Every structure is written in C-alpha cells, then in structure tokens.
Structure 1
Amino acid sequence: MLKALTPSFFKNSVLSQLPVGLRFMLLSAFGFSLMAACVKLVSASGMPIFQIVAARALISLVLSYLDIKRKKIPVWGNNKPLLIARGTVGTFGLICVYYAIAHLPLAEATILQYLHPVFTAILALLFLKERIQLSTIICIALSILGLVITVKPNMLASNAIELPTFAVGIAMMGAFFSAVAYTIVKSLSKSEDSSVIVFYFPFIALPLSLILLGGEIQMPTLFEAALLLLVGIFTQIGQVCLTKAMQTEAASKATAYSYIQVVFSILLGAFLFSELPSVWTLLGGSLIIIGTLINIFGSQRAVSSS
C-alpha cells in the first residue's frame, strides 16, 4: 500500500527530501482537495447532494469492510449505540460539507470547515470535562474574527461581496457536526478499533442518504459516474494518508500540516472554476488557521509540561 502511495518518480524528487509524515499529509490534503473538486464538478450537473453522499458511502463501505476482514476483527464493535451515533452525526456533517462545496467557492467552503476545532473545544468542555486553555480561548477569538471578516467583509469595506448566508450557515453546521463526530471518536477510541469506527460511517451514511434521497435518483452519465468513483477513491486516499501521517509524525505537527489543503483548494478553485478568493477571504482564513495552530501547539505544550 505504501509503495502505491509513493510512486517511483517521487523518490528522486523534492518530496523525497521531506519528512515522511509531511509527505503523507501533503498527499492526504491533496486527496481531500481533489475529492472536494469532484463533488463540486458533479453537483454542477444537478446531481442531488444525497446521491453524491450515497455513492461515496458505497465505495467507502466496501473498502472499510475489506479492511476489517483483512485485520480479522469483529465487524460490529463493542459500543454499538455510540458507533451508530458517530455514523449518524458524521453523515449529516458530510451532507452539510458537500452542500457547502456545491454552493460556495471551493476555498471558502474549505476554510469554513476548519472552524471545527472551536466547536470541538466547547464540546470537550461540556461532555468530556476537559479544561479550556488560554491557547484555545485565543483560537476561538481569532476564529470568530476570521469568520466575520470572511463572511461579512462589507462591515469593513462597503464594496466587498458577502457570501450567501444560507450556504455559510450549512457550512458551519458541517463544522459543528464534524466536531461532534471527533468528540465521539475520541471516546470510542478507548474501546474500538479504528477500522470499525471508520466502517460505521458509510454503514449508516448509505441507507440514511438513500432514505433522504427518496426516489429522485439521477442516472449519471459516464463522466458523472467517473467523478462519483473518484470522490470515493480520493476520500480513501486522503484518509489512508492522514492515518499514516498520524502514525509517523506527532499528532500536532500532522494536524498543522493539514492546512495545506486550503492552498490546494485555492489553486483548484482558480484552475477548475475560475474562483479567485478575495483579500477578505485570505485575511479571514489566515486568522482562522493561525488561531487553530496556536491551539494545537498550545495544547501540546500543556500536555508536555503536565
């Protein structure tokens, strides 16, 4: 698997000089960015978001099941109610993320998704009784300021263009559901294998998205079918490389590297959709990312000193 993810032409390239964890995180971020671009392309044809979610879930379900069988572990896990909750919350989060990708510029949709650390910190305080540190408070303050600048730039410049309020709200809901999913996963990781946790996501997402879709299935063209397949493949590449990055690099560094996805999204948005982010998007997004990085490394320092 590792050889497949690191083609031979990379071995003598600049990438070969980078730390292994950074290489995997770059591939992960690029995979997720390509996934988002494929979602935006196929949604532009009028394909329902629920159908895109169902297609991605079907591919992930097969790959996740094969992974569990390879490990020779029980499929259904131990804490079934919490596993089902993780799958349900993750499904609604994915629906919101895909809607935001379809209705917002790619860069803005990606930036807003990175608000999830703010929600995660609040949820961890409420349900896991984790203490909020100064770095987290700074993160929340900078993220809120960055959000306002990105979404409501006309508060600072009268000629600035606002993002559509409803789509922004859905994007923030996606970040919130992602935070809830991360909080549940953190609890499940004490008793469940990671492959089982991953499996429950498409296991719940597939039937739930089909129910929400109703009978409005759009028969895809060959090109659309290829895009749907690529959504699943690029998602799997992103997840596998993210896992490898976490295994070969400190979690805080690996998470910090993941923000290169914003850069990839800006480049893909400009190249594929002629989307050029405004100076307000770049400023607001920078504040959100800086705030999150402060939180990541501040939390790491607190753990090291305790």
Structure 2
Amino acid sequence: MVASALSFSLMGVCVKQVGGRIPAAEVVFARAIVSVALSWWLLHRAGIPAWGKRRWLLIWRGAIGTAALLCVYAALAALPLAAATVLQYLYPPFTALLAWLMLGEPIGKRVLAAMALGWLGVLLVAQPAGLLQGGATLPLFPVLIAVTGALFTALAYVSVRSLGTSEHPLVIVFYFPLVALPLSLPLVALNPVLPTPAELLWLVGVGVFTQLGQVYLTRSLTALPAARATAISYVQVLFAGGWGWLLFGESIDSWTIAGAGLVLAATLVSLSHSRQQKRS
C-alpha cells in the first residue's frame, strides 16, 4: 500500500505538469491506453485468462474508477498538489463505512484510531489557520470535484475488495483502463488537444505510475480489509507534500509538518494492528 501511495503521488506530479492545458478526460484516455497495453502484457506473461468471472462487477469497478479518475485529475489541475491529495484522502472513512455496510467488514478500535489520526492529519495539512484568520481559501468548485472523487474512489475500492474473492489482481487492474477507454473517448472528442512532445512524455508517465499504483493497490486490497489498507495509504499525503515543495515551490509550514506526523502515526497504528492479527 505504501508503494501504491508513492506511485500515485508520482502520477500526481505528471498530471500537474500537463493539467494546465490538457483536459482531464484526455489525461484519463492517455492513461488508459498505456495501462491497457501494460496490463495485457502482464496477463499474457503470467498466463492468466484476461476476462475474469464476475464481468459485470468488473465493468462496474472500471466505470466507477473512471469517474473517480476524472474528478481526481480535474482537482489536481486546479488545486495545489498537496491540497488536492489532502481532499482525495477523505476516501478512507468513506471506504470503511461502505465496506461495513456492503461487505460486513468490522471496524476495529485500532482502525478507528488510525482513521481519526489520519483525518486530523489531513485537516492540519489543509492549513486551517488561513481559514480561521480570514486568509485565502481554495476555490469551491474544484474542492467539490475532489470530494466527489473521494466518494467514487471509496466505491471503487470496496468493489475491488469484493472482487478479490474471485478474480486475480491483474484481471481487476486490466478492466479498469479497458472500461475507461470507451467512457473517456467521447469526452476527448468534444475538446481534443494535441499534446506537445514533452506533454506526451508526461502523459506516458501518468499511465506508467498509475499502472504501478493500481497493481500494488489491488494486491493490498485483496490481502487486507479495506478500512485497514486505506488507512495505511494516508502516507501519500506525505509524498504529495514533499513533491509539492521540491518541484512546485509549495511551502511546508508547521501545520503541514504536524499533520504529516499524525498521518505517519496513523500508518504505524494500522501496521501494528495488521501484525497483531497475523500473530493471533
């Protein structure tokens, strides 16, 4: 899950590089082309049948994941990298709640503690001091898009958890871009933008890092309860803050450092719960 978070943070860097000019749907479409090719090659190399058993649920997971990607990419283009990632990380509580309602997965005390620490860390990284002192706030519409993306992400993760009982992780990963291609193509046709050679490389990077993130994410969600796995993934906030500071000149203040510490604590609490369960 940590490797998945690192991959997705690098994907965010690539999206930021092209997000000012390339529409979100075109980024999703380019990502899908790269991921379909990589997924097909991985399935062929492993000798695994590509089409799966529960095809309607696989298609549903692909459709919900595509909607989530459109929202996430649009938010990344309109907001600072750290802020967009913070808002995306509203999804772990959504995931835990949906997994409880739809899959009957219990929410243990340690997972609840990890979620609470992660939420508090996310709020601190969002720099509430600016809001309390009447400072600049984030634009409302991109914020709403990011929150919607978090909800769609939670729905997609719960479906992955359900699919893990019958499908190979590579099959689940393959269906995501396979469904995203026909869904995003009409949106691309409405507003096509020809990428420059440099932008084309960044788009390839989006596809490669998203593919890596999806592979690691799917392996994690098929091995861990959804609430615990997503609590661990809070570490992506740390990566996003670091890339924003190094590459985009986004400042890291005391609020961000304090929030990062709480996010790290949430990850450690989740991991300690996993180790205790394994011993028992």
TM-score, length of structure 2 as denominator length:
0.83
Partner of 1:21: none
Provide the residue aligned with 2:81 in structure 1.
106
Counterpart of 2:209 in structure 1 is 234
Residue 25 of structure 2 aligns to a residue in which SS? helix
Distance 2:98 2:138 in 1: 27
Matches within 5 A, 1:148-187: 148-151=123-126, 153-154=128-129, 157-158=132-133, 160-187=135-162
1:206 aligns with 2:184: no
Q: Could you say which residue in structure 2 is the equivalent of 1:271?
A: 246
Q: Match for 1:40 among 6, 9, 16?
A: 16
Counterparts of 1:262 and 1:146 in 2: how far apart (Å)?
9
| Alignment counterpart, residue 120 of structure 1, candidates 88, 95, 103 | 95
Cα 1:175/1:57, change in 2 over 3 Å: same
Q: CA deviation at 1:197?
A: 0.6
Report if aligned partners of 1:54, 1:205 keep a CA contact under 8 Å in 2. yes
Greater Cα radius of gyration, structure 1 or 2: 1
Aligned counterparts of 1:133 and 1:263: Cα–Cα separation in 2: 25
- Distance in 2, matches of 1:272 and 1:155, equals 23
Shift of 1:255: 7.7
Deviation at 1:226, TM superposition (A): 1.5
Kept after mapping to 1: 8 A contact 2:32/2:181: yes
1:84 aligns with 2:56: no
CA distance in 1, matches of 2:263, 2:114: 8
Which deviates more, 191-200 or 294-303?
Answer: 294-303
RMSD, aligned α-carbons: 3.4
Q: In the alignment, is residue 223 of structure 1 matched against residue 215 of structure 2?
A: no
Between 1:221-230 and 1:48-57, the stretch displaced more is 221-230
- Structure 1 window deviating more from structure 2 (269-278 vs 93-102): it is 269-278
**How far apart, CA to CA, are the structure 1 residues paired with 2:40 and 2:2?**
24
The residue that corresponds to 2:110 in the other structure is 135
Identity, in percent, stands at: 46
Query: Is the 8 Å Cα contact of residues 67 and 149 (structure 2) preserved in structure 1?
Result: yes
Q: Which moved more, 1:238-247 or 1:119-128?
A: 238-247
State the SS of the aligned residue for 1:163. coil
Residue 286 (structure 1) shift: 4.1
Query: How far is the alpha carbon of 1:295 from its aligned partner?
Result: 4.2
**Counterpart Cα distance in 2 of 1:96 and 1:273:** 21
Contact 1:151 1:163 in 2 (8 A): no
Aligned to 1:71: 46
Q: 1:162 to 1:295 in 2, by over 3 A?
A: farther
Cα deviations by residue, 1:222-273 (Å, 9 ceiling, x for unpaired): 11112111211233344456678999xxx99998886554343223212322
Task: Give aligned pairs, total.
Answer: 279
The whole-number CA distance in structure 2 between the counterparts of 1:30 and 1:104 is: 19
Give the Cα–Cα distance (whole angstroms) in 2 for the partners of residues 240 and 219 of structure 1: 29
* In 2: Cα distance, 1:185 partner to 1:161 partner: 38
Give the 3-state SS of the residue equivalent to 1:132 in structure 2: coil
Shift in alpha-carbon separation, 1:185–1:41, aligned structure 2, 3 A = same
| More displaced stretch, 201-210 vs 260-269 | 260-269
- TM-score, length-scaled by structure 1: 0.77
Aligned partners of 2:237 and 2:263 also within 8 Å = no
1:264 aligned counterpart, secondary structure: helix
Segments of 5+ residues of structure 2 without an aligned counterpart are none
The one-letter amino acid of 2:60's match is: A
Separation (CA, whole Å) in 1 of partners of 2:79 and 2:242: 15
Provide the rounded CA distance (Å) in 2 between the counterparts of 1:81 and 1:98.
26
